[in-house]
Every structure is written in C-alpha cells, then in structure tokens.
C-alpha cells in the first residue's frame, strides 16, 4: 500500500466510524457484538447500561452502518443485533491503509534553518 492516498470521502467515512466507536459505551457494545449476535438484555447484563441507553447507542451504530438488527420472527418485541460484516471489512481496510507505516516518507520541512532549497 505504498501509494495509498485516502480520498476525501474515505477520510470522511473513517472519521465518522472513529467518532461513533470513540464513545466508550458504543465501543463496549461493538466489542460484545464481535463475539456474536446479542439482544438488549444481554448487553444490559454484561455492560450494566439501561435499556434506553443501549437503544440510543444501537441507533447510532445502525445509522452509521456498523451494526444490523433483526426482529424475532415469533415475537417482534425482541431485537437481535450483530456487526455488519461488510462494514467491518471496509473499516479494517480503511484503518490498515490509513495506518500503514509504509506511507511515511523521509522529508525536511520547508521552513526553519534546515528548510528545503529555495528557488
């Protein structure tokens, strides 16, 4: 990925995903979902968050495409959440490309006493 240069749209999407996952509760929820499908009650038991707070964070995770939900076929009051695997792949690729150490190039700043040659 030596020639990787993120496009503005890629940076905007990566920024949004990092903002969404930057909240401790959402990151904790996402971490649980990485272990498989979860319902509100399981998230509540494991993280100690209120059901309304979980719903709030799940709405944000869903809106940004990181999580998908599915209502129980027999009882629609139950909602099951899982990580959107396509979005996870995109996030992983974006982070891998953005954080690739091969992108770092040696250079001198063009200011100060050791500045670039002036024309």
Domains and CATH numbers, the chain: 8-103 (1.10.10.10)
Bridging pattern class, strands 79-83 and 67-71: antiparallel
Closest CA to 105 of 7, 1, 2: 2
Average pLDDT over residues 28-43: 97
Q: Is the pTM of this model over 0.85?
A: no
SS3 string, the chain, reads: CCCCCCCHHHHHHHHHHHHHHCCHHHHHHHHHHCCCCEEHHHHHHHHCCCHHHHHHHHHHHHHCCCEEEEECCCCCCCEEEEECHHHHHHHHHHHHHHCCHHHCCCCCCCCCCCCCCCC
The answer, yes or no, to whether residue 4 has pLDDT greater than 80, is no
Average pLDDT, the chain: 90
> What digits encode the pLDDT tens for the residues 58-89?
999 999 999 999 999 999 888 999 999 999 99
> What digits encode the pLDDT tens for the residues 36-47?
999 999 999 999
Q: How confident is the model at residue 25 (pLDDT cuts 50, 70, 90)?
A: very high
Contact 55, 16 (CB under 8 A): no
Query: What pLDDT shows up at residue 109?
Result: 79
């Amino acid at each position: 990925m030596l020639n990787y240069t993120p496009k503005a749209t890629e940076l905007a999407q990566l920024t949004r995903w990092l903002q969404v996952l930057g909240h401790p509760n959402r990151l904790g929820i996402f971490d649980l979902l990485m272990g498989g499908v979860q319902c509100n009650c399981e998230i509540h038991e494991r993280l100690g968050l209120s059901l309304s707070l979980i719903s709030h964070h799940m709405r944000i995770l869903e809106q940004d495409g990181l999580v998908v939900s599915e209502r129980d076929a027999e009882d629609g009051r139950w909602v099951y959440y899982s990580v959107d695997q396509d979005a996870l792949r995109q996030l992983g690729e974006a982070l891998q490309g953005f954080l690739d150490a091969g992108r770092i190039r040696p250079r001198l700043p063009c200011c100060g006493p050791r500045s670039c040659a002036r024309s």
